Every structure is written in structure tokens, then in C-alpha cells.
């Protein structure tokens, strides 16, 4: 007596899902496509133990954008040349204080994280002293603009 497997809704759904695309056939049209491609390229390069599939930065137009007013704390009148490059973006632009800019969110996070660390002394129970970080003096003042 042989048992026949009964097709369930889950089996039908699993059959309708397309096979995983090869890295050469992957479309690069959206931000998530680039993330997917770069993730697969890292896996394939690690398996091959050589860099056959280069990491491709996503074009700036596809990144989620944020409208900000740029300002400098350390030199309020001078422009700032911003260069930021990683696996997902290659950004270079001059920013002038007091002007509005539409910048990718990752660049805004990068700019807002720049600053000088503040340190203080702490006396330990054994009488020795060591330094520790208590904060950061920001280098740039970024104001988000929410108006349409």
C-alpha cells in the first residue's frame, strides 16, 4: 500500500516561487537589487577565494533621501568637501553652510557622526586613574527639513 502525497497550498506556493537567479542574471534596478547583488557577490567571491564579482555601489538616485540644511560648528562660513565611499555608495559633493540639500540618508548619518570626542578622568577603586569618553562635540549642525 503506497501513500500518495496530498498537495497542499504551501506546496503549490513553493512550486510557484522561481529558482534563485544567478549573479549574472540579477537585475540592478532598485536599491534592494543592489543590496541583494552585493550580498551574493560576497558569498560567491568567498567560495571562489578570489574577487570575480566586484561589489557595485548603488547610484545616488536610488538611495533613500533626506532634505537637510547644512551648517558647520567649527568654521561656520567655509564650505565643506564631503567624500564618502563604501560598498553601497560613492558620494562626493561640496556643501555650503546655510543651504538646503537632498542627501542620501547614509551620507547624513556619516556627516552627523563626525566630531571631537570629549574625555574625562575617572579614579578607580585602587587609586589609579584612567580616561573615558563622556560625549562628542559635533562638528556639523544638520537640520532636517520636513516641509514639502
Residues 80-139 have pLDDT tens digits of: 999 999 988 999 999 999 999 999 999 999 999 999 999 999 999 999 999 999 999 999
Based on the fold, state whether residues 68 and 136 are members of the same structural domain: yes
CB 100 within 8 A of CB 74: no
Based on the fold, state whether residues 66 and 101 are members of the same structural domain: yes
- The answer to whether residue 54 is domain-embedded is no
- The answer to whether residue 2 is domain-embedded is no
Closest CA to 88 of 28, 44, 38: 38
Cell 543590496 -> residue:
35
- The answer to whether residue 101 is domain-embedded is yes
What is the pTM assigned to this prediction?
Answer: 0.74
- Cell for 91? 558620494
pLDDT digits (tens, 9 = 90+) for 62-71: 999 999 999 9
Range of the domain at 76: 60-144
Based on the fold, state whether residues 44 and 65 are members of the same structural domain: no
- The answer to whether residue 4 is domain-embedded is no
- The answer to whether residue 26 is domain-embedded is yes
Q: Give how many domains the chain has, as a whole number.
A: 2
- Cell for 71? 551648517
Distance between CA atoms of 63 and 39, rounded to whole angstroms? Answer: 17
Amino acid at each position: 500500500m503506497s501513500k500518495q502525497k496530498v498537495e497542499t497550498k504551501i506546496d503549490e506556493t513553493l512550486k510557484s516561487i522561481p529558482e534563485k537567479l544567478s549573479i549574472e542574471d540579477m537585475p540592478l534596478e532598485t536599491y534592494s537589487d543592489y543590496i541583494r547583488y552585493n550580498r551574493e557577490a560576497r558569498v560567491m567571491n568567498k567560495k571562489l577565494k578570489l574577487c570575480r564579482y566586484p561589489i557595485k555601489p548603488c547610484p545616488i538616485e536610488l538611495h533613500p533621501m533626506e532634505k537637510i540644511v547644512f551648517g558647520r560648528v567649527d568654521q561656520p562660513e567655509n564650505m565643506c568637501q564631503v567624500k564618502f565611499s563604501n560598498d553601497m555608495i560613492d558620494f562626493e559633493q561640496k556643501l555650503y553652510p546655510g543651504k538646503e540639500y537632498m542627501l542620501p540618508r547614509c551620507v547624513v548619518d556619516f556627516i552627523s557622526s563626525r566630531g571631537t570626542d570629549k574625555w574625562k578622568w575617572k579614579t578607580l577603586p585602587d587609586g589609579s586613574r584612567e580616561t573615558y569618553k563622556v560625549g562628542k562635540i559635533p562638528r556639523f549642525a544638520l537640520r532636517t527639513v520636513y516641509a514639502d
